[in-house]
Every structure is written in structure tokens, then in C-alpha cells.
Amino acid sequence: MKKKNKVCYNTLMKQLNNMDSQICKLKEQIQQLKSRFVANTEEEVCQDEIDADRAALEAINDICLESLLDIEPKGEA
């Protein structure tokens, strides 16, 4: 019985590590998007455009995080 628990634990840890690496990649991509928005401040941009870009960025962020939570566990974990 202990061996089965160890296998379940190892599977769970692999899935958590995989999710952690995906979250880190998403965080990097979101940071790159944010830096691109900030880098384009040299030209004049109206506040409505800035607000729309922020809303789009937040929506992308929410969608990415929700998709990670929707991943079905594999194995017996």
C-alpha cells in the first residue's frame, strides 16, 4: 500500500511542478506584454485606448489562469 501512495504522491508532485512551470511561463509572457505597453508611451495615446489595453491584458491573464485550473489530473492523483 505504501508503494501505491508513493506513486500517487510522485504523480501529484509532477503535475504540480508542471503547473508551476506553466504559471511561470505565463507570468513571463504577461510581463513582456506589460513592458511592450509601457515601451510605447513615447507617442500620445488617449486614456480610452490605455484602459482598453489594460482590460484586454487582465482578460488574457484571467483566461490563462482559469485554463490552468481546468486541467484534469492524470493518473490516480
Number of domains in the chain: 1
> 3-state class of 77 per DSSP?
coil
Domain for residue 76, yes or no? Answer: no
Instruction: Print the domain residue range for 6.
Output: 2-69
8-state DSSP, 43: S
Give the pLDDT score at 36: 78
pLDDT per residue as tens digits for the range 11-68: 888 888 888 889 888 888 888 888 877 765 566 778 888 889 899 988 888 888 787 7
In angstroms, the CA 23 to CA 28 distance is 9
Domain for residue 9, yes or no? Answer: yes
In angstroms, the CA 47 to CA 3 distance is 60
Which of the two residues, 5 and 46, has the higher pLDDT score? 46
Domain for residue 15, yes or no? Answer: yes
